[in-house]
Amino acid sequence: MKAVFTIPKRLTNGKELVVVQKDEYDRLVKHDREVKYALKVIAQGEKDYREGKAVKASCLREALKIYAAKPR
């Protein structure tokens, strides 16, 4: 059983406080970064689609080749 600690509200300015192990925190931070990156890529894809810059291909491999060949 894991130990439970109560953090006095005066130390947290009356807010709730969650304590997690370092490895769990690192996993959550990594997940957060991955989600933010995915959302950024999706937003860019939607913007490109609206502007008519979407890559049209029959499969992912072909799309990646076309995308890589595009000048930036």
Domain coordinates in residue numbering, the chain: 9-69
| pTM for this predicted structure | 0.61
Mean pLDDT: which of 5-9, 33-37, 62-66 is highest?
33-37
The H or E element containing residue 46 is helix 22-50
Angle 39-61-65 from CA coordinates, rounded to 5°: 90
Q: What is the rounded distance in angstroms from the CA atom of residue 69 to the CA atom of residue 72?
A: 9
Q: How far lies 66's CA from each of 55, 60, 61, 71, in Å?
A: 7, 10, 9, 10
- Residues comprising the chain, all counted: 72
61: DSSP letter:
H
Give mean pLDDT, residues 20-49.
Answer: 92
What confidence category does residue 47 fall into, taking pLDDT thresholds of 50, 70 and 90? Answer: very high
